[in-house]
Chains A and B, each alone.
Chain A
Amino acid sequence: MNYQAPVKTTLLELRNLHTDFQTSTGTVKAVDGVSFAIERGERVAVVGESGSGKSAMAMSILRLLTHPGKVAGGEVLLDGRDISRLSEGQLNAIRGRLVGTVFQDPMSSLDPVMRISKQMIEPIMRNLRLNREQAREEAIKWLGKVGIPEPERRIEAYPFEMSGGMRQRVMIAMALSSRPQLVIADEPTTALDVTIQAQIVEVLKTLTEESGAAMLFITHDLGLVARFAHKVAVMYAGRIVEFGRVEDIFASPAHPYTQSLLGTIPSTAMLKSERLPQIPGLPPDMRFPITGCAFKERCAAAHDRCCVEAPRLSQCGIDHTAACWAPHGLGEGATLKAERPDRPNRPFEPDGSVVVELNALWKQFDTSRKMVVRAVNGVNLRVHKGETLGIVGESGCGKSTIARLLLGLEKPTSGDIFIAGLAQMVFQDPASSFNPKMTIGGIVAEPLVVRAHGSKPERKEAVRRLISQVGLDPAFAERYPHQLSGGQRQRVAVARALALNPSVVVADEPTSALDVSVRAQIINLLVDLKQELGISFVFISHDLLTVRYIADRIAVMYLGEVVEYGAAEEVFADPRHPYTKALIDAVPVPDPAIESRRTSTPLQGELPSPLNLPTGCAFASRCPMATDRCRAEKPALPTHDLARQVACHYAS
């Protein structure tokens, strides 16, 4: 990183900030004494998992918390002035003017019944003291800057007429149009697809750099941090456990939590035989007081002192502090080691038998307006025995429809599906995939009961075996889904999918609803099961790093078509389709060195509507190398006997 700190003047300083949520079951100390500073023009990222207090902390700065959240103590110094004691009226002079805010969910963050113009122009008039025409000019200028095409026309649109990415651009334009000195961005890209995410990050980065605004960026994605931030604050259980420059945090993390977190992300160089390091257990329940270090139960380096006294942030390098009794956390230069030895390195050898075969599969949905959504357009795929096929693509590419077709939950419009044996599914959302009125035992047993497998005691035994097979205590059989954490529920989902000895398990984004530290547990579980049981997997995800790690073969989908297919390593090492290249480029890698060398601009534009697909190549509208031939003639994917298939006229 060639970041040179500008003249060091502190813009924002938090001193011992406390935020409480009064709930019926007790006081949750969501933010429990946070102190750090942001210099002018500096981008500080706050990373942490859900419940770590990172959003509550960010919202506390301008007191945007709603009841029952309340700032319980501490100081917030903006330009040396304590704004935590200001009245609402005085604070309103700062909100939107000195400090702009961008929120997580663009779909719900704009007033649905108000035109963009109305939501943008009035704050500009107030903050910059302009008349209506000037403010309108200004608003249009900003909409143009954030990359909204035809801003003069789009300014009169309602939010629902725009895509999520466009709405987030509007939010950014709103936040920046009053020339704030600080922008607080609370997970601004979490709800967006990876190529759109890359665009938004680029817009935020360029525009704040241009205006010299500092930024506080809240995220759970370590890759984004590496791409974006000057400094990083790692939060755990309401406190900052490590703070420092981004290069230092990634190169020599000092807190065991940071070290573990960095270890759980599959890196591009990782071999399949290596197990993902995983953090055991769950974050602490914030309703109860914590004695000692909050991370001690999950920490390999915990010792007696950690159970008694909570460590404070202490210097461990230049501009680098960590809250751990051990000076180097788990050890010098260490990241978390896997708990179990690596798997025997069994390279994938297909024995030739095909478990799943999709032939010229088409699926269309009729909408109410007599239009046809073409979700899957002529897909041919094969999955061999014991093989994991990863399907990647952005939302709307048809990957989930393929899953539903495979499971027989939808009927194909044309084409056929062959499955040797039974297909079972692990669903994305662990909250809705279980009947809340059934016990875990009943849920796992359901496939056996429906298919009348075995006697009652036999089924009971099978349930015990299945539950322990996915790494849970058999006593879980008597619990109800709402008593389980997200990771535990996803284990149960796997157990249910295995009950009938399926030949293939389809997993549709099985880890996307889970926290980073739990994600690795589930991925390891799936990989282990695959090796032990020889089941085939279809793993559907937008998370390319995970797919690369878990899949033997990859199919990249765009607008209902497979545009590239091949062995996972090959596709990643040498992507041939321009879309695959763009996707891999867009994925933030948790390594500031790689990120700072990144030169290519993110893929432009958005997914065309599946209502009127282009006649030529589906990707032509966004492809940097598209020619007239691409727009006129559709490139076909070669027949499926080839190990590597690319649907592009110009793929060499």
Chain B
Amino acid sequence: MAEYAAKKLAQMLITVLGVITLVFFTLRLIPGDAASAMAGDTLSGEALQVLRDQMGLDEPLISQYLGFLRDLAMIDLGETITTRIPIADLLLRALPITLSIAMATIVLSIVISIPLGTLAAFMAHKGRNWLDNGLTGAAMIIDLMPSFWTALVLLLIFSLGLGWFPASGQLNWNNPGSVALRLALPVIVLSLSQVATLARITRTAVLEVLNEDYVRTARSMGWSEMRVLFRHALKNAALPIATVVGLSFGNLLGGTVIVEFIFTIPGVGNLLIAGINSRDYQLVQTLIVLYALLFVVINFTTDLIYKTLDPRVQF
């Protein structure tokens, strides 16, 4: 177990190092350099040189790279170039918001999708396909709705039309009720596509397991349908479902950028867009690395859980 985890961890570290390297050098590919790209035509040559010095762009590439690595390792994220605010401070405020949206979405979508997918699989297995067909069709369409569009439509109906949820305003953490109302629509928008994906995966995984020989064995022992479904089918299907939960977390991270933008929520996504718009490459590279790190860590964890759950995997 420990050996496997260590091996996986090493693999993960290599990937993260690769990610950091990729981000660093890609950002140095910008024509001209980051400073002139940032400044556009607004700065004189002299001012541009000051900016360059600030960003350390005149140092050799390799020492810039090593410096970047060193700073990351010491969790020294530096400051934003334009506003001179420590990036760590910005993140400390933005990250909890984004993570709460993501966690709420994961919990909500798991609670809805797994029973739904299991039921659809069970009925399809019995040859009653209406729920399965309906669910599969609805899941496909929901999955294909652009999330920014879904968000706007829900905003139009529930905030502007019915007035159920506030569309804007400060997040006041002293009043959890108001925060919940404010974050409800974003979470619903993200959950829609997550539920669609997870219900579909659950359905496929459970249906596959229901056709396995050992399910027939359990039925031949006289166990009831429900016991067979929960004790044998769902337990075996849990393994592939867990992997997909981990992977769909990546899409979820992408989705948070869009809903934060639409619902003007001061999370990491809005920070990213602001960074791009102000051409603050220090901020952008930090955030991209952060996102990748989150995604890699989540996948590492699900992989480990998956392997622990499956007795066939020997460490």
- Give chain A's interface residues, CB within 8 Å of chain B: 62, 64, 66-68, 88-89, 92-97, 100-101, 103, 105, 108-114, 123, 126-127, 158, 160, 171, 174
- 10 new A-B contacts, CB < 8 A, other than A68-B127, A111-B232, A174-B217, are A62-B220, A64-B219, A66-B125, A88-B225, A100-B220, A109-B214, A113-B236, A113-B310, A114-B232, A158-B311
B217 and A103 contact, CB distance less than 8 A: yes
Task: Confirm or deny: B235 has a beta carbon within 8 angstroms of a beta carbon on chain A.
Answer: yes
Q: Which residues of A contact B216 (CB under 8 A)?
A: 64, 66, 103, 109
Residue of A nearest to B210 (CB): A66
Given A111-B232, A111-B236, A113-B235, A103–B213 Cβ distance below 8 Å?
Answer: yes
Task: Confirm or deny: B126 has a beta carbon within 8 angstroms of a beta carbon on chain A.
Answer: yes
Of B211, B218, B225, B309, which one neighbours A111 at CB under 8 angstroms?
B218
Q: Which residues of A contact B220 (CB under 8 A)?
A: 62, 64, 95-96, 100-101, 103
Q: How far is the CA of A71 from the CA of B215 in the complex (A)?
A: 19
Q: How far is the CA of A100 from the CA of B235 in the complex (A)?
A: 24
Q: How far is the CA of A498 from the CA of B54 in the complex (A)?
A: 77
Q: What are 7 inter-chain pairs, A to B, with CB distance below 8 A?
A: A88-B225, A109-B214, A109-B216, A123-B221, A123-B222, A123-B223, A160-B311
Interface residues of B in 169-215 (CB under 8 A from A): 210-214
- A-contact bits for B226-254, CB 8 A (1 contact / 0 none): 00000010011001000000000000000
Q: How far is the CA of A123 from the CA of B223 in the complex (A)?
A: 8
Of B210, B218, B219, B222, which one neighbours A93 at CB under 8 angstroms?
B222
Residue of A nearest to B239 (CB): A113
B214 and A108 contact, CB distance less than 8 A: yes
- Give chain B's interface residues, CB within 8 Å of chain A: 125-127, 210-214, 216-225, 232, 235-236, 239, 309-312
Given A68-B127, A113-B236, A108–B213 Cβ distance below 8 Å?
Answer: yes
Q: Which residues of B contact A111 (CB under 8 A)?
A: 214, 217-218, 232, 235-236
B311 and A109 contact, CB distance less than 8 A: no
Of B214, B222, B235, B239, which one neighbours A110 at CB under 8 angstroms?
B214
What's the nearest-Cβ distance from chain B to residue A41, in Å? 21
Of B127, B210, B222, which one neighbours A95 at CB under 8 angstroms?
B222
A95 and B221 contact, CB distance less than 8 A: yes
Q: Which of B217, B223, B239, B312 has the most CB of A within 10 A?
A: B217
Q: How far is the CA of A113 from the CA of B212 in the complex (A)?
A: 13
Given A88-B225, A108-B213, A160–B218 Cβ distance below 8 Å?
Answer: no
What's the nearest-Cβ distance from chain B to residue A512, in Å? 21
What's the nearest-Cβ distance from chain B to residue A127, in Å? 8
Q: Which residues of A contact B213 (CB under 8 A)?
A: 103, 105, 108-109
B311 and A113 contact, CB distance less than 8 A: yes
Q: How far is the CA of A596 from the CA of B239 in the complex (A)?
A: 50
Q: How far is the CA of A158 from the CA of B211 in the complex (A)?
A: 21
Residue of B nearest to A171 (CB): B217
A67 and B217 contact, CB distance less than 8 A: no
A94 and B222 contact, CB distance less than 8 A: yes
What's the nearest-Cβ distance from chain B to residue A100, in Å? 8
A89 and B311 contact, CB distance less than 8 A: no
Q: Which residues of B contact A114 (CB under 8 A)?
A: 232, 235
What's the nearest-Cβ distance from chain B to residue A286, in Å? 20
What's the nearest-Cβ distance from chain A to residue B225, in Å? 7
Q: How far is the CA of A407 from the CA of B106 in the complex (A)?
A: 54
What's the nearest-Cβ distance from chain A to residue B69, in Å? 33
Q: Which of B126, B221, B236 has the most CB of A within 10 A?
A: B221
